[in-house]
Structure 1
Amino acid sequence: MAPAAVAVAGGRKNWSAECKNLWRVAGPVILTEIFQFGLGFVTAAFVGHIGKVELAAVSIVNGVVVEGLAFGLLLGMGSALETLCGQAVGAGQTHMLGVYMQRSWIICVATSLLLLPLYISSRPRCSACSASPRPSPPCRAQPRLGHDGNLRGRARRARALLNWVVVTKLGRGLVGAALVGNVSWWLLNAAQLVHVVGGWFPEAWTGFSRKAFASLGGFVRLSVASAVMLCLEMWYYTAVLILVGCLKNPEIQVGAISICMNYQLWTLMVAVGFNAAVSVRVSNELGANHPKAAKFSVVVATTTSAVIGLVFTAVALAARKQMPRLFTGDDAVVNETTKLGYLLAATIFLNSIQPVLSGVAIGAGWQSLVAFVNIGCYYLVGLPLGAVFGFKLKLNATGIWAGMVIGTVLQTIILFVILARTRWQKEAMLAEERIRTWGGSIDLPSIQENQEETK
């Protein structure tokens, strides 16, 4: 066989192997996120048929009060685990996963206690509508997410049934839907806790340890950076909702934006799966001192997710006039949602790429850098442009969404530039240093020693 043919065959084999590694993590995560998102989707679908005001109210409460504040902060704090756990697994330090998770629990509980007065002092109706944010996510350092997805699937089915009984049959309306949401989340959280500590991960969970209170300072810094990075992304959509709420006929405008956000979040689940998968692969390979493998994983994950995003984009364009009917029968809301169809399609494609790049940042520990990028692209470019288009040029929700898309495009371009200039060998050295600092007394062969042995 000619050398060129051998190279092509080897490239195909490497690509196929990396795809399998990515899908082994991404597949269960996608199912898990679909089931989790289905909890809120079910509530929005039921409430949307009560009235357009109720649909707008649920959108604002979920987007601003719940996801925009508590969920964003706590999920961001917990996402520091993806960096540390992934790199620890790559370095063969699986026993540290439970310790890292306990440190994250300490930080997240402390954050929850600080947030609690804000919710206690809020209006009773807003408190009733809020749903409990989930605890720190189970470690994604290993692809053992099938059971977690099963738990969320059962929770979604139970929530749909309870919503049908409480909202439709008993006529409890908005407050009833919120109470059903709270019950569903608490049951899911309890099941996840049992799953983590109940013996399914014997090599990672060895019980509660005093080590959880060690090196908290550095862990807090990485957790805060992770929270800032994620919150800046989530608050971007929150700010869009707030701007839209200031337009004329806000019930119609917010309802239309809400429907579009619900659909783009459905397609986002695939990108979220690849976000988790590439985070795991990059952190594992950097922890194991395989910088070239980490770089190759980025290429495969981004390409695969983008191709799937193109399919979703085509579907969104083809069904842009029919999709709104699932949420509402109000013709005004349907027409306004249809106008946003083309921008929705563009957002869906961008969101098939951008989360994957964010996953690379988490796996490599670049949260602080990406946080600054998000500030510039989202809050200094995207939102101001959206405000000008929406209010000054009177393009309403379409103009605000267009500004949001421009900010996302700019952020995606900058992240690509950062990736192109990354020195992956240096990132592997930083991963080794991170494990030594936060892993305690661990005997790891240094990267320099590995390089000398291979010469």
Structure 2
Amino acid sequence: MGNSTEERLPLLGEPDGSDLKKRVWNESKKLWKIAFPGMIARVTSFGMIVVTQLFLGHVSELDLAAYGLQQSILLRFVNGILIGMSSATETLCGQAYGAGHYHMMGVYLQRSWIIDGVTATILLPLFIFTTPLFRLIGQEEDIAIEAGKISLWFIPILYYFVFSLTIQMYLQAQQKNKIVGWFSASSFVVHVLLSWLFVMKLGFGLAGAMSSFIISSYLLVIGEFVYIFGGWCPNTWKGFTKAAFADLFPLIKLSISSGIMICLELWYSSILVLLAGYMKNATVAISAFSICLNLNAWEFMICLGFLGSSCVRISNELGSGNAKAAKFSIMVALGTSIIIGVIFWILCLLFSREMSYLFTSSEEVAESVSSLHVLLAFSMLLNSVYPVLSGVAIGAGVQSTVAFVNLGSYYAIGLPVGILLGYVAHLQVTGLWIGLLSGVVVQTLLLSYLTWKIDWNEQVNKASERLARFFIE
């Protein structure tokens, strides 16, 4: 069912007993080949969200707060579900590629479109009834009304996520993510230019910023469709097939465990933004907290490049039956990611106040952002560790275990600490961020222990069983 040893050695060769520097160099080249385009794709894709916030911040403070609430809560909630469910595609496509089951990758992609598309439609009412939902949870009336207006613009973005996330993981698994990087970077440039034209020059305000977001997002998806359907994936895309509708339940099960794992992580910060809305001067609190979260998340997109590369390397090696190479890949990815995290930690400590003025002209908001800069810097440092470990979990297909880790770290420890310090100790947004950080610290420690305890030979056997279960001639 798989390729011969001779066929897979050039791509997935196991580290031999040669010089350690040479082994590290070879593994680093494989990681960066996957990670760098993935970083470009994620930074620019998320950058479109941040650029939209940046332009809205110069329209009005109310629009900034409403967008921050909408993006940090509802969009992150939905994005978390779809990213998580799409990571099942990453696991299966990566292991199928390693095993040489190339034709199955197109089938997995189509199945993910069906599952994610149905999921997005189920979540649609959240964007239609945003204003009454925010009223129900006690948000300020003017912010709730404005967020309701913005949420309708996010409906096309909801379905953009269905295709862009799954296609990115499908292409990344076969190491074709350079094209995703090019398309994402191009759409980001288009978005910046259109936002400047629509908002700053033509004065279209909210409508201009959101129209630019939608247009540039769908240009990315159209480019990816042309690439796949145009014959640039001849081994993995064999056309649409009825097999996509068969055997969906095992994939749904893996998708749900993947979704829960990611959701528990992304919803954590969303809940903290929601809590910021109950503080004194809620507009300033939400604006400052969401700006810091977006700065943290933007740097996190770079670290997600290593999540993606470690996931692909682990799943490829497990699919090819190579446990030693999988373990060595983890060490190289983790070391490289930590070095980058230290660089961003230093930059955040030095330039936090300057960064805040990119998003707002309000001195009060900028001051609130600046007060969080030390905590933000350490959050960026931790970003370099736990995404790689999460990528290991996705590559190995042990998402359900990590879901329990995230549940305990964030909701049993981080959230209560944030509420206690923010409201009882009256530390406001600083207390909330300390709670966020404490949850991440516990999660990082638990994921490190989990990775250390994994029996990689057993994971090779499980990968083989999983691929055999889904295989179609």
TM-score, L = length of structure 1: 0.92
- 1:254 and 2:286 aligned: yes
CA distance in 2, matches of 1:18, 1:117: 46
- 1:20 and 2:29 aligned: yes
1:184 to 210, 213, 216: 216
Instruction: Write the letter of the residue equivalent to 2:167.
Output: P
Contact kept? 2:90, 2:394, Cα under 8 Å: yes
2:45 to 30, 36, 44: 36
Kindly state the Cα deviation for residue 105 of structure 1 after the two structures are TM-superposed: 1.0
1:56 to 50, 65, 72: 65
Contact kept? 2:72, 2:290, Cα under 8 Å: no
1:227 to 259, 268, 275: 259
Kindly state the Cα deviation for residue 165 of structure 1 after the two structures are TM-superposed: 2.1
- SS of the residue aligned with 2:236? coil
- SS of the residue aligned with 2:157? coil
CA distance in 1, matches of 2:206, 2:269: 23
Contact kept? 1:75, 1:137, Cα under 8 Å: no
Match in the other structure for 1:110: 118
Q: Structure 2 vs 1, CA of residues 34 and 125 (structure 1 numbering), >3 Å: closer, same or farther?
A: same
Contact kept? 2:74, 2:126, Cα under 8 Å: no
- 1:89 and 2:89 aligned: no
What is the correspondence of 1:343-382 to structure 2 with a 5 Å cutoff?
343-382=375-414
Q: How many residues align?
A: 434
Match in the other structure for 2:464: 432
CA distance in 1, matches of 2:379, 2:266: 14
Q: Structure 2 vs 1, CA of residues 419 and 349 (structure 1 numbering), >3 Å: closer, same or farther?
A: same
Match in the other structure for 1:46: 55
CA distance in 2, matches of 1:406, 1:73: 23
Q: Structure 2 vs 1, CA of residues 31 and 373 (structure 1 numbering), >3 Å: closer, same or farther?
A: same
Contact kept? 1:90, 1:285, Cα under 8 Å: yes
Match in the other structure for 2:167: 137
CA distance in 1, matches of 2:119, 2:100: 31
| CA deviations over 1:14-37 (Å, ceiling 9, x no partner) | 111110110010011011112212
Match in the other structure for 1:447: none
CA distance in 2, matches of 1:213, 1:259: 42
Instruction: Write the letter of the residue equivalent to 1:102.
Output: Q
Instruction: Write the letter of the residue equivalent to 2:89.
Output: L
Instruction: Write the letter of the residue equivalent to 1:145.
Output: N
Instruction: Write the letter of the residue equivalent to 2:461.
Output: M
Contact kept? 1:26, 1:277, Cα under 8 Å: yes
| CA deviations over 1:331-353 (Å, ceiling 9, x no partner) | 11111111100000000000111
2:314 to 275, 279, 282: 282
Q: Structure 2 vs 1, CA of residues 211 and 129 (structure 1 numbering), >3 Å: closer, same or farther?
A: closer
Kindly state the Cα deviation for residue 281 of structure 1 after the two structures are TM-superposed: 0.4
Contact kept? 2:104, 2:472, Cα under 8 Å: no
| CA deviations over 1:385-436 (Å, ceiling 9, x no partner) | 1000000000000000000000000000001111111111001000000000
CA distance in 2, matches of 1:277, 1:226: 17
- SS of the residue aligned with 1:171? coil
Kindly state the Cα deviation for residue 327 of structure 1 after the two structures are TM-superposed: 1.4
- The answer to which of 219-228 and 192-201 deviates more is 192-201
Identity across the alignment (%): 40
Kindly state the Cα deviation for residue 148 of structure 1 after the two structures are TM-superposed: 1.6
- The answer to which of 83-92 and 341-350 deviates more is 83-92
1:100 to 108, 111, 118: 108
Match in the other structure for 1:450: none
CA distance in 1, matches of 2:104, 2:409: 36
TM-score, L = length of structure 2: 0.89
CA distance in 2, matches of 1:405, 1:322: 23
Measured on the aligned residues, the alpha-carbon RMSD in Å equals 1.6
Kindly state the Cα deviation for residue 9 of structure 1 after the two structures are TM-superposed: 6.2
What is the correspondence of 1:55-74 to structure 2 with a 5 Å cutoff?
55-69=64-78, 71-74=79-82
CA distance in 1, matches of 2:37, 2:350: 28
Kindly state the Cα deviation for residue 119 of structure 1 after the two structures are TM-superposed: 2.9
CA distance in 2, matches of 1:299, 1:72: 27
Kindly state the Cα deviation for residue 111 of structure 1 after the two structures are TM-superposed: 1.2
Match in the other structure for 1:387: 419
CA distance in 2, matches of 1:120, 1:189: 24
Kindly state the Cα deviation for residue 157 of structure 1 after the two structures are TM-superposed: 1.7
Kindly state the Cα deviation for residue 194 of structure 1 after the two structures are TM-superposed: 2.1
Unaligned runs of 5+ in 1: 1-6, 442-455
CA distance in 2, matches of 1:36, 1:118: 22
CA distance in 1, matches of 2:210, 2:302: 27
Kindly state the Cα deviation for residue 184 of structure 1 after the two structures are TM-superposed: 2.3
CA distance in 2, matches of 1:427, 1:154: 39
Contact kept? 1:28, 1:143, Cα under 8 Å: no
Match in the other structure for 1:444: none
Instruction: Write the letter of the residue equivalent to 1:191.
Output: G
Kindly state the Cα deviation for residue 58 of structure 1 after the two structures are TM-superposed: 1.2
Q: Structure 2 vs 1, CA of residues 146 and 89 (structure 1 numbering), >3 Å: closer, same or farther?
A: same
CA distance in 2, matches of 1:56, 1:127: 13
Instruction: Write the letter of the residue equivalent to 1:391.
Output: Y
- SS of the residue aligned with 1:327? coil
| CA deviations over 1:175-208 (Å, ceiling 9, x no partner) | 3312322222233222222222221110110111
Instruction: Write the letter of the residue equivalent to 1:137.
Output: I
Kindly state the Cα deviation for residue 160 of structure 1 after the two structures are TM-superposed: 1.5
Instruction: Write the letter of the residue equivalent to 1:14.
Output: R
Contact kept? 2:70, 2:151, Cα under 8 Å: no
Instruction: Write the letter of the residue equivalent to 1:339.
Output: S
Match in the other structure for 2:305: 273
- The answer to which of 432-441 and 109-118 deviates more is 109-118
CA distance in 1, matches of 2:338, 2:436: 20
